[in-house]
Amino acid sequence: MTQPQKPTLTLLQFEVIAYFIRSRDPARTAARLVLVEGHSNTEAVAATSMTKAAVSNAVNRFRKAHLRILDAYLPPE
């Protein structure tokens, strides 16, 4: 197992996004492993038996939703 990366989302942020985008397992688990726990996509593939592309798609879906929320609530720079 590789050294975990810095998490991108808190667990609360993750759960809120998962609710709004209606994410289900195993995609939800894969995205949590990468974005909250800091594991690599490869480790999420191994843990969930999803394809590399499916894990990447799940992670990107969460990231895009997170950015849209930030755009809506943070003041423009």
**In terms of residues, how long is the chain?**
77
16-35 residue pLDDT tens: 999 999 999 999 999 999 99
How many other CB atoms sit within 10 Å of the CB of residue 12?
9
Domain 11-73 has CATH 1.10.10.2690: yes
Query: With a threshold of 0.85, does the pTM exceed it?
Result: yes
24-69 residue pLDDT tens: 999 999 999 999 999 999 999 999 999 999 999 999 999 999 999 9
Helix (H, G, I), strand (E, B) or coil at 20: helix
Domain ranges of the chain: 11-73
Contact 71, 60 (CB under 8 A): no
Q: Please report, as a single letter, which amino acid is at residue 66.
A: H
Residue with tokens 């499916």: 54
